[in-house]
Amino acid sequence: MLDSLLAPFRALGQYAILIGRAFASVNEIRMYWKNLFIQMVRIGIDSVPIVALAAAFSGAVLTVQTAYQLETPFIPKTIIGSIVAPSIMLELGVVVAGFILAGRVGARIAAELGTMRVSEQIDALEVMGLNSVGFLILPRVLAGIVMFPVLYVVSCVVGIGTGIFTGHIGGFLSVSEFLEGARQFFQLLDPFIGFIKSVAFGFIVTSIACYKGYYTGGGAVGVGDSTTQAAVLSCVFILVADLLVAMLLL
């Protein structure tokens, strides 16, 4: 009973120690360069299409629905732009991307490390004298921290771009009206907060996935469990972090 109550805290401690060890091996980063580069491509570049797709749809839907909600002659149409652009930069662009990446990147990392664990490949790395924690985890977490902001930018550009395009095609909002509205209420704080969130989400998704994967136990079922848990936990903590950043910085 007490044991199961303490379990989450034990897991948190184990997680903190593991990620701490990964960052402590930063002095050996020269050995991990190549790995870091590979992970940046896998986590970042390879995720561009799916992130762009999600951003395009959310940008389009947001524009259409905002326009629908503000369909009165008393509100200038430019307001649509003033609502859509900050919403994407502040929240939608980064959270939608975060969820997509929790599934795509998180699950992939957990499955990869989990398979290495159950097939003793991690043991093989250790026995050769490599620091498996540094070698496997540090490049993935760093790649997440570096590449999520890049994907965030992609997400914003595509999302807002699609929003403008939708208004134009739908004939309810001209390009210049959208841009004028967006410019009118633009604050540098919006993209800055989005950026902070993307860094946080990058860390959350990759570090949780590494933790789950690294401590996988027991065969194919174990790998399946780790993969699912990595994706689910990442999503939960993305929501928590989203709220925390908003409360702290707004």
How far apart are alpha carbons 122 and 110 in whole angstroms?
13
Q: How far is the CB of 121 from other proteins (least distance, A)?
A: 5
How many residues touch other proteins (CB under 8 A)? 14
Instruction: Write the CB contacts of 35 (distance below 8 Å, at least 6 apart in sequence).
Output: 135, 139
For other proteins, give the closer residue by CB, 31 or 61: 31
Torsion angle in degrees (nearest 10) through CA of 193, 199, 205, 209:
-160
How far apart are alpha carbons 106 and 34 in whole angstroms?
21
Q: How far is the CB of 34 from other proteins (least distance, A)?
A: 10
Q: How far is the CB of 40 from other proteins (least distance, A)?
A: 17
Q: Is 247 in the site for other proteins (CB under 8 A)?
A: no
Binding mask 4-43 for other proteins (x = CB under 8 A): ---------------------------x------------
Q: How far is the CB of 49 from other proteins (least distance, A)?
A: 23
Residues 167-206 that bind other proteins (CB under 8 A): none
**Number of CB atoms found within 10 A of residue 188's CB:** 7
Instruction: Write the CB contacts of 44 (distance below 8 Å, at least 6 apart in sequence).
Output: 143, 146, 147, 148, 150, 151
Residue 72 DSSP symbol: S
For other proteins, give the closer residue by CB, 27 or 72: 27
For other proteins, give the closer residue by CB, 121 or 228: 121
Q: DSSP assignment of 97-118, as one string?
A: HHHHHIIIIIHHHHHHHHHHHH
How far apart are alpha carbons 69 and 46 in whole angstroms?
36
Q: How far is the CB of 127 from other proteins (least distance, A)?
A: 5
Binding mask 114-153 for other proteins (x = CB under 8 A): -xx--xxx-xx-xxxxxx----------------------
The two three-digit tokens of residue 50, written as one number: 């799916």
For other proteins, give the closer residue by CB, 24 or 249: 24
For other proteins, give the closer residue by CB, 71 or 120: 120
For other proteins, give the closer residue by CB, 132 or 207: 132
Residue 218 DSSP symbol: S
CA contacts within 13 A on the Cβ side of 148: 32
Binding mask 79-118 for other proteins (x = CB under 8 A): ------------------------------------xx--
Q: How far is the CB of 17 from other proteins (least distance, A)?
A: 12
How far apart are alpha carbons 93 and 52 in whole angstroms?
10
**Residues in contact with other proteins by the rule CB under 8 A:** 31, 115-116, 119-121, 123-124, 126-131
